[in-house]
Structure 1
């Protein structure tokens, strides 16, 4: 087989691989999609099996890639990542050709439960803090005990940390406003004396009404 024919076959093979990888079903409008933590990426480097691989974006938004090391990719498009990898690989390879596609989107979650206006499951975003997720969930209810906001790591209900939101809001202790981790759970507890306070207010109101009625009858006699 002549050299020209061999080169032509290599080019055709590369084009075929790119078309398969970037088919409409696989692409899912990747030109607009922004890479995020937990996404699975397929990185193809033409004629280099050692650099062609499946890779998962870490919770901190980085990937670890041969020759490149740690690279922050959170927020990049696939085209943006291709350009970044191509620029870095040029230090080691001659005219590297890189294709990046999204293999699957596996989103981390944060669970916001308890005395919350909109309890539920919310998408994890790197660098989002405790107050960010409380705001997404509509804030706390009047029954919430702001002195006891529990944060539990993934699948570990014995390792919860307690945060006093009163100190955060009133004393401006921003060390309490922690950065959440993937699959953390926020649990807002109810005030322990909430029902007693409610009944105390009702009893006080009843007392005022009874007193007013008594004064009315005394005055009209």
Structure 2
């Protein structure tokens, strides 16, 4: 009796898991290159593995060519079942489609992420979902994400500030990602500091970073350094280098070069 109960519970759990998997797959939009495993309940002769053609069609036993490109998995199941029934081949057929390889709905994630590459969109995905698939933003990654997509045969560029999503909770900026989109994570902006500091080098420029904070990032002044007479070398829009007398609370800009002079006393 106990063994029967365990088997029944295991079977029920398996059915629930498979139902959840199928529910997720039912949202998948099919397209060229996708490999599908199609079966009909209690009809083993109608089991088929097929690749969707470039025109978005498959050829299925008894009913011939079926246009399924752009359809969801669930819609394609209903279409094949309807064609089998209308043709008089089966009564109330139960068609099941499993996507073996999802080639049409992929997104390219590039730039400063931990695992750049192409990822299948097996269900509706947001920008945060796709970044998670790519292992998250790398240490050198910035806050700004560029998304490129085709819309009406025109390349559309959209820039998203990740801090609006993660820190401010503006979830409408967590945009939906579609197949064929390119997600690019920009490198974080940099500043440079040299002269009389403990650790002269290049560093990540944080938002609203001041000269004083830059000094702290560089390890502070050396024994010969002074806060008086700090200079910032900054390139203007015309490419001309400007030399600015800096104050401790001045804000830095990307690619600024901070020079700390030696104390005269």
TM-score (norm 2): 0.46
How many pairs does the alignment contain?
Answer: 157
Structure 2 counterpart of 1:204, from 206, 209, 218:
218
Larger RCO, structure (CA 8 Å, separation 6 or more): 1
User: What does residue 14 of structure 1 align with?
Assistant: none
- Partners of 2:67 and 2:184 lie apart in 1 by 33
- Superposition pairs of residues 1-221 of structure 1, within 5 angstroms: 27=49, 41-45=58-62, 51-58=63-70, 61=72, 72-73=75-76, 81=77, 85-86=80-81, 90=85, 92=86, 94=88, 96=90, 107-108=103-104, 109-146=106-143, 148-154=144-150, 158-193=155-190, 198=203, 200=214, 204-205=218-219, 207=221, 210=223
- Structure with bigger strand share is 2
- Partners of 1:39 and 1:106 lie apart in 2 by 13
Tell me if structure 1 keeps the 8 A contact 2:148–2:158: yes
Question: What 5-or-longer segments of structure 1 have no aligned partner?
Answer: 1-17, 29-34, 46-50, 63-70, 74-80, 212-221
Tell me if structure 2 keeps the 8 A contact 1:41–1:100: no
Alpha-carbon offset, residue 145 of structure 1: 1.8
- Structure with bigger helix share is 1
- Partners of 1:44 and 1:158 lie apart in 2 by 40
TM-score (norm 1): 0.53
CA RMSD in angstroms comes to 4.2
